Structure 1
Amino acid sequence: MSETVAAQALTPRSRVLQTADDAIHGDRNTHYGTPTENFERISKLWSVYLGRNVSPRDVAMLMILLKVARGMNLLTEDTMVDIAGYAACGWECETQVVA
């Protein structure tokens, strides 16, 4: 079965989750580092900028809220894919032990 036919056979919720899964396991790790590394880097920059501690958990939640705000204007499948991806990456950061 071709990828297009297989994607069309998915329910909308499965398509969103599959697309998010493909995105978070694709080239992003090579380009930006693992979610834990990237969210840690972002949290340090935001902490300096804001003058308060921002955790990798905060980064995930704030990125989700950014997508929610955009979705309040125009909700798209891409917005929902991004929310699912940030949720998955945030949970990975939360549960991964950093050495």
Structure 2
Amino acid sequence: MLDPIYVLTIVLMAVVTYLTRIGGYVFLRNRTFSPRMAAVLESAPGCVLITVIAPHFVSKNPADLAALAITMIAATRLSVLPTVLIAMASAGILRNLIA
């Protein structure tokens, strides 16, 4: 049985995530950006992804290191969404196979 606090927490996190996503479009929809600002905004998702992945570079867990290598190979050949999906799948599978 699900605890109502957990469900409420997940729903509120989803709402906050949605509001931060849509907030950028609402507040910035009528603005024209310089090429430099556009480049910064386009590189932001990659920067966030790196902050999530970077700690695994110093991991001593072989499953994490193998998943990191797979993710790096995928990132050189695929777009962001397939790379993230491959990273999640490889990390999950390798963590279960390599204890």
- TM-score, length of structure 2 as denominator length: 0.28
Relative to its length, the structure with more helix (as a share) is 2
Q: Which has the larger radius of gyration?
A: 2
